[in-house]
Amino acid sequence: MEKSELDLKSKLYQKSVIDRIKKIDFEEGSEAPFVVELDPTTQCNLDCLGCISEDILDNNRFSSERLMELGRELVKAGVKAIVLIGGGEPLSHPKIGDLIEFFGENDVKIGLTTNGILIDKYIDVIAKYCSWTRVSVDAATDEMYQYLRPDKNGNSKFNKVISNMEMLAEKKNGILGYSFLIRTSEDGPNFERSNISEVKKAAKLAKDIGCDYFEIKPSYNMDHFLIMHDEEKMKQLKTEIKEGYKLEEDGFKILESVNLEYAIDNELNIQLKDYHECPISELRTLVTPSGAYVCPYFRGRKDKCIGRVNNTSFSDMWNGGQREEVMKELDPKEDCKMHCIRHKSNLILFKMQKSMENIEAIDDFNLFI
C-alpha cells in the first residue's frame, strides 16, 4: 500500500495503529484512544468574522497544574499523538510550552493548530518537538486579514503572523502549513467580501516564507455542515487553485482539504451514512476544559459529552459510565449527516474488524490517524 501523509485511510495500516486496533473489542470499547485532540483553553486573542467556535469561546481553561497532570495521564494511558487545537488559541495557555516539551520528551507526537500570533514566544519548543504546525491565515494581504481575522481591538496581526512563520520555517524539525479557509458572502450576512481572489497569492507567500504546504479548506456552518457557494465563485476558486499548483516544486505542496471537492462541485451538504457505530471514536477523542466529547464535530454539545477531566483522571473518564452511555446512543446515520473527515476511516475499520489476519501493515510514518 502506498503511504500518504494526508491519506487517513493509509494511516490506519501503520504497524503501531494495527497493533492498537487488534487489542480493541469494538463492542466493549477501547482502553484508551490512540490520538487526542486537546483544547488547553477556550480563550482566543482574535475576533474572527464568522468564527465557528464563537458560541463556546470564553475565559475557561485548564489550570496550569491540571494541564500538566492531564499530560502525564495521557502518556500513561498510551496516547501516541496529541493535537493541540481549539476552541480557543492553544498557545495562549501559560503552560503550553512546558506541555509541548513534556509530550516531546515522552515520545508523544505533537500537532499544533494555531493562529500564529504567539509562535515567537514558544518557537524553540515548537521547532524541536512539533511534528507539524498548521497556521490559520485565510488571507494573502494585511487588508483581507484585518477584515477576516482582526484582534479584539480590530487591528491586524498579519505581518506578525507571517514573520513568526518565516522564523519557524528556518528552525523547525517538523512540517509547517499555511491554512486558507475560503470565505464568501454565502458564509453569512456579515460577509461582504470574498478571499477567493487571494488564493494564488497566499500560496505564493506560503512558499516564499518556507512553508511545506498550502492547504485550501471549505467553510462550514455552526452545525459543521459544508457551506455551498455561488457557482461562479467556485469556478474562480478552481482557477486560483490550478494556478497555485504551478508553484509545486522543491517539496512545496498545494493541498485540497478532504471535503473541499464537495463544496466546489456544489453537491449536497449532507453525507449519508449507512452504519450505526463510529469505530474511529474508539481511537480518537476531543478533550476540552468544558468536557471531553466524542469528536470535534460535537465540541460543546452536552448530549455528546463523554465526561469531564477537570476533577477526574483521564482514564476514569474514558472508562466511566457517562462515556458508555453516550457511545451507546451515538448513531452516525442519524447524528452525523455532515461531511465527516473520518467517514472513510470508519469504512476501513469496519472491513478490518471482519478480517484482521490478512492485513499487511506498513511502517509507521504519521500517527495522526
Residue corresponding to grid cell 491519506: 7
Tell me, yes or no, whether 135 lies in a domain.
yes
- In 149-272, alpha helices (H): 158-171, 199-208, 231-245, 260-264
- On the question of a cis peptide bond just before residue 116, with omega within 30 degrees of 0, the verdict is no
**DSSP state at residue 286:** E
The reply to whether 232 falls in a domain is: yes
In order along its 369 residues, the chain shows pLDDT tens digits of: 344 445 778 899 999 999 999 999 999 999 999 999 999 999 999 999 999 998 888 889 999 999 999 999 999 999 999 999 998 999 999 999 999 999 999 999 999 999 999 999 999 999 999 999 999 999 999 999 999 999 999 999 999 999 999 999 999 999 999 999 999 999 999 999 999 999 999 999 999 999 999 999 999 999 999 999 999 999 999 999 999 999 999 999 999 998 999 999 987 789 999 999 999 999 999 999 999 999 999 999 999 999 999 999 999 999 999 999 999 999 999 999 999 999 999 999 999 999 888 899 999 999 999
Phi, psi angles (nearest 5°) of residue 126: -65, -50
DSSP one-letter string for 312-341: S-HHHHHTSHHHHHHHHH--HHHH--S--T
Q: Give the pLDDT confidence score for residue 9 in this predicted structure.
A: 80
Whether the CA torsion 50, 88, 175, 225 is positive or negative: it is negative
Domain membership flag for residue 164: yes
Residue 259 counted as domain residue: yes
For residue 143, tell me if it sits in a domain. Answer: yes
**All 3 cell numbers of residue 74?**
495521557
Domain around 70:
39-266
CA distance 79 to 315: 11
What cell numbers appear for 76 in the block?
Answer: 500513561
Q: How many CB atoms lie within 10 A of CB 126?
A: 29
Is 363 within the bounds of a domain? no
The cell 467556535 sits on which residue? 53
CATH code of 248's domain: 3.20.20.70
Separation CA 123–CA 165 (nearest Å): 10
Instruction: Supply 222's cell numbers.
Output: 455552526
Is residue 193 domain-resident? Answer: yes
Nearest to residue 17, comparing CAs of 71, 70, 78, 74?
A: 78
DSSP string of 66-120, one letter each residue: HHHHHHHHHHHHT--EEEE--SS-GGGSTTHHHHHHHHHHTT-EEEEEE-STTGG
Q: Is residue 179 part of a domain?
A: yes
The domain total for the chain is: 1
Residue type, 172: K
Would you state the cell numbers that stand for residue 219, as one nine-digit string? 467553510
Strand 109-114 to strand 130-136: parallel, antiparallel, or no bridges (unpaired)? parallel
Do residues 35 and 82 lie in contact, with contact meaning Cβ atoms separated by under 8 Å? yes
